[in-house]
Amino acid sequence: MADASTHAALDGALARAGKLKLMIFDVDGVLTDGTLYYSERGEELKAFNIQDGQGIKMLRQAGIEVALITGRNSRAVELRAANLGIAHVFQGAEDKRTAYAALLTQLGLAPEQSGCMGDDLPDLPLFTRCGFAATVPAAPEALASRAHYVTRARGGRGAVREVCEFILRAQGALERAISAHLQ
């Protein structure tokens, strides 16, 4: 019985991911492992996973808009977003709903055309509004129970790539994204 419900949940998540035109990612705990490093000069340092970055590039190449909405401000996030070609970056977003609403308006999208990947309670308002919600294994139950997809990989360790490939698979674009590298 649990196997049938697992398949139904996966089918539902695939159907939701198949409608996405925008995927929003939190940063700390999603694109990074959530650890904050400070240099002796007080600079905040972050480590990003290269495979996660490739997943984001694959989403963008498939025509899916990518955005970052994070509660913190960091020059490292600004640099990583620029490196990946992410034009929609909202930092210092204490209430992520405001940035989310502005983004949907700017892109002319309905909530069900948007997805969100977060790892902690500040992401919860987006989970309840977007069409597809994903999280990492370390997320609190409040997020995990509301997520349509929980990754096997940890934040900053391939979780974003896993979600990107899930979305591309749902949209029938994963093989095309892979074959682009076989040329």
Q: Provide the pLDDT confidence category of residue 172 given band limits of 50, 70 and 90.
A: very high
Question: Residue 85: its pLDDT value, please?
Answer: 97
Question: Residue 95: its pLDDT value, please?
Answer: 92
For 73, the 3-state DSSP assignment is: coil
HSE-CB of 181 using CA atoms within 13 angstroms: 9
Q: Beta strand pairing status for 37-38 and 44-45?
A: antiparallel
Q: What is the mean pLDDT of residues 151-179?
A: 96
Q: What pLDDT, in 10s, does the model give residues 34-75?
A: 999 998 998 889 999 999 999 999 999 999 999 999 999 999
What CA–CA distance (Å, rounded) separates 45 from 53? 17
For 88, the 3-state DSSP assignment is: strand
| Domains present along the chain, CATH in parentheses | 2-179 (3.40.50.1000)
Q: What pLDDT, in 10s, does the model give residues 68-121?
A: 999 999 999 999 999 999 999 999 999 999 999 999 999 999 999 999 999 999
Question: Residue 3: its pLDDT value, please?
Answer: 67
* Token pair belonging to 110: 């309905």
What CA–CA distance (Å, rounded) separates 163 from 56? 9
Q: What pLDDT, in 10s, does the model give residues 9-18?
A: 788 999 999 9
pTM: 0.94
Average the pLDDT over each of 99-103, 110-114, 172-176, 178-182 and give the range with the smallest value: 178-182
List C-alpha distances in Å: 26 to 4, 36, 123, 173. 31, 15, 8, 24
